């Protein structure tokens, strides 16, 4: 009798162990935490390969490019993240449902006007120079304008972003958009009596924290239909052979599925 009881106990123990093991094998992995993402990680993300390169500096006024990223592959921009490339590279939201990782700051734009005269062979040449310099004063007599600008956070690969981080809405078509480093120069001439007027205009933007020569990430958040999705765009400022001149490259972008 004692032996029968012992065998029964052993059998029950074996059954418990077997079912316990089977239960462990049937357990699923933990769901992906969608409240945060890692820059450069594409797990659970829809990825768009772009490799778009633009020359941004020293362009004549009128050169204009717009990159509206197409995440769903239908051939049309999705109005989520847009880049405007003229006198540097501007980034902004495509709708009020999209916010960009960063914070607003009060930007100072110094306006420098200078006119000089040269005379030769009875002709007077007037050189009229106007420079708009962001975040850097040229002369003590420059006038100053201030405006609120979104300073986009530059993120390294492997860094994390959470839905609770600081996001702000910015439009590329107004002054509340971020400006990456840029330097626009244009020149025009006209005559008046015996005077030749040469008008030069320069627009310098050096407010950005984005480094040159290495890829960095821009983070964004889309909130619509009671759902929030995070995403990133990988960009790079590539120096050219000219001083203070660079290419702006949009490498790829990703958004949560």
| Residue closest to 148 by CA, chosen among 182, 181, 111, 177 | 177
Total residue length of the chain: 257
Which has the higher per-residue pLDDT, 190 or 177?
190
Given this model, what pLDDT does residue 203 score?
82
- By mean pLDDT, which of 25-29, 82-86, 161-165 is the weakest? 25-29
The rounded percent of the chain whose pLDDT value lies above 70 is: 81
As to burial, measured by CB atoms within 10 angstroms (0-12 exposed, 13-18 middle, 19+ buried), residue 59 is buried
Pairing mode of beta strands 216-224, 98-120: antiparallel
pLDDT at 107 over 90: no
pLDDT at 1 over 70: no
Q: How far is Cα 212 from Cα 210, in angstroms, rounded to an integer?
A: 7
Average of per-residue pLDDT across 184-191: 81
Residue 189 region, left (φ>0) first, then alpha (ψ -120 to 50), else beta? Answer: beta
204-249 pLDDT per residue, tens: 887 777 888 899 999 999 999 889 999 999 999 888 887 767 888 9
The rounded percent of the chain whose pLDDT value lies above 90 is: 37
Given this model, what pLDDT does residue 240 score?
82
CB 211 within 8 A of CB 235: no
Provide the token pair at 131.
């420079």
- Place 19 in a pLDDT band, splitting at 50, 70 and 90: very low
pLDDT at 99 over 90: yes
pTM: 0.77
Given this model, what pLDDT does residue 8 score?
47
Q: How far is Cα 219 from Cα 168, in angstroms, rounded to an integer?
A: 11
Strands (DSSP E) contained in 193-245 are 195-205, 216-224, 227-239
Which run of H or E residues covers position 246? strand 246-256
Q: How many CA atoms lie within 13 A of 112 on its CB side?
A: 18
Average of per-residue pLDDT across 22-29: 49
CB 68 within 8 A of CB 255: no
Most confident of 29-33, 135-139, 232-236, 247-251: 232-236
Average of per-residue pLDDT across 59-77: 79
SS (H, E, C) 70-91: CCCCCCCCCCCEEEEECCCEEE
């Amino acid at each position: 009798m004692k032996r029968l009881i012992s065998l029964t106990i052993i059998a029950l123990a074996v059954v418990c162990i077997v079912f316990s093991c089977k239960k462990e094998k049937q357990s699923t992995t933990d769901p992906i935490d969608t409240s945060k993402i890692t820059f450069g990680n594409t797990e659970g993300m829809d990825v768009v390969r772009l490799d778009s390169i633009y020359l941004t500096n020293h362009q004549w006024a009128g050169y204009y490019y717009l990159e509206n990223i197409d995440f769903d592959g239908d051939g049309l921009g999705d109005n989520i993240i847009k880049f405007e490339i003229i006198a540097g590279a501007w980034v902004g939201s495509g709708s009020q449902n999209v916010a960009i990782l960063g914070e607003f700051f009060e930007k100072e734009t110094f306006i420098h006007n200078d006119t000089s005269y040269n005379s030769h062979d009875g002709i007077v040449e007037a050189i009229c120079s106007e420079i708009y310099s962001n975040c850097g004063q040229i002369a003590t007599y420059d006038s100053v304008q201030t405006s609120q600008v979104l300073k986009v956070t530059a993120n390294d690969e492997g860094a994390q972003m959470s839905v609770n981080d600081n996001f702000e809405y910015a439009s590329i078509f107004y002054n509340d958009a971020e400006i990456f480093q840029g330097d626009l120069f244009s020149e025009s001439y006209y005559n008046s009596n015996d005077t030749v007027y040469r008008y030069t205009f320069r627009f310098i933007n050096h407010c950005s924290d984005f480094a040159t020569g290495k890829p960095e990430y821009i983070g964004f958040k889309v909130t619509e239909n009671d759902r929030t999705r995070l995403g990133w765009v990988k960009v790079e400022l590539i120096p050219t052979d000219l001083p203070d001149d660079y290419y702006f490259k949009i490498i790829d972008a990703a958004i949560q599925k």
